[in-house]
């Protein structure tokens, strides 16, 4: 399994692209602004889009990508999302006001996209990949994903606050890599709590939930560009006091360089 990081920032700035990961060239996990770095042929190869939730930084490139490739495709792109996410996309983006309703164009029988509802705990079989829908705790309906192929397992938390159910399930998996959000620094911990995101101290508490016999690399995503260096420095400072944080001091800027991981 190959995981290509297209974007993993919590907002835009130079060289900062919002959340999107490309799995094996054909599955897109979230559709943030990083999708815009793909070539037309690379976008054309994407048959499935998995959305964690409806917030703009995770869906902004979806209508634009579809517009770029739709007339070159022979079958719809399948967009997998929670019912609440689908409702939001239909009401606020694909509504013939902000963007054309691609679920009815060019025809209802053969549209550019098809929405497919998912639910927490469901496992999707896409090619050789088994993709489990994991719980997330956010201000809108949200999920994370565990993507498994052969012996590899890549886990993405999505946007979430403290999430005991997530760890209960992740501790049952043989994880090779975890990508988890930490959107705000400690000085913005109140805002993080209100918006159901993590800050470094709360991240450390969450990582304490990892089973003692588990040991895998942890990458931090969704940092705000103005706070990335502060967030990462705060996480590194926790290493000496919280053994669980030692695996999490991976610099987000390295991920944002379009790095592809072989798992």
Name all domains of the chain by residue range, CATH numbers in brackets: 2-262 (3.60.15.10)
Measured CA to CA, the distance from residue 36 to residue 49 in angstroms comes to 15
pLDDT for 251? 58
The tens digit of pLDDT for each residue in 157-206 reads: 999 999 999 999 999 999 999 999 999 999 999 999 999 999 999 998 99
Q: What is the pTM of this model?
A: 0.95
pLDDT for 263? 78
Per-residue pLDDT averaged across 123-137, rounded?
A: 97
Measured CA to CA, the distance from residue 202 to residue 261 in angstroms comes to 27
Instruction: Indicate if the pLDDT at residue 256 is higher than 70.
Output: no
Q: Which of 107-116, 153-162, 199-208 has the lowest mean pLDDT?
A: 199-208
Measured CA to CA, the distance from residue 44 to residue 169 in angstroms comes to 34
Sign of the C-alpha dihedral computed for residues 198, 202, 207 and 211 taken in this order = negative
- The answer to whether the CB of 263 falls within 8 A of the CB of 152 is yes
The tens digit of pLDDT for each residue in 209-230 reads: 999 898 888 889 999 999 999 9
pLDDT for 212? 87
């Amino acid at each position: 399994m190959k995981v290509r990081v297209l974007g993993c920032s919590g907002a835009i700035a130079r060289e900062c692209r919002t959340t999107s990961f490309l799995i094996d060239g054909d599955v897109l996990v979230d559709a943030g602004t990083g999708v815009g770095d793909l070539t037309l042929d690379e976008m054309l190869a994407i048959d499935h889009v998995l959305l964690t939730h409806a917030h703009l930084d995770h869906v902004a490139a979806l209508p634009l990508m579809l517009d770029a490739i739709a007339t070159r495709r022979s079958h719809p792109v399948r967009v997998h999302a929670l019912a609440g996410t689908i409702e939001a996309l239909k009401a606020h983006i694909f509504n013939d006001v902000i963007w054309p309703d691609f679920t009815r164009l060019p025809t209802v029988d053969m549209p550019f996209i098809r929405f497919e509802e998912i639910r927490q705990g469901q496992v999707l079989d896409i090619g050789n990949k088994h993709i489990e829908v994991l719980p997330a705790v956010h201000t809108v309906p949200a999920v994370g994903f565990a993507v498994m192929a052969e012996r590899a397992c890549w886990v993405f938390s999505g946007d979430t606050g403290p999430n005991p159910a997530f760890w209960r399930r992740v501790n049952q998996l043989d994880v090779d890599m975890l990508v988890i959000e930490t959107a705000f620094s400690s000085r913005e911990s109140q805002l993080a709590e209100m918006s159901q995101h993590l800050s470094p101290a709360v991240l450390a508490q969450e990582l304490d939930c990892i089973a003692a016999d588990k040991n895998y690399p942890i990458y931090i995503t969704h940092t705000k560009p103005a706070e990335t260096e502060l967030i990462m420095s705060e996480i590194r400072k926790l290493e000496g006091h919280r053994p669980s944080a030692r695996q999490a001091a991976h610099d987000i800027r390295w991920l944002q360089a379009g790095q592809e991981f072989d798992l």
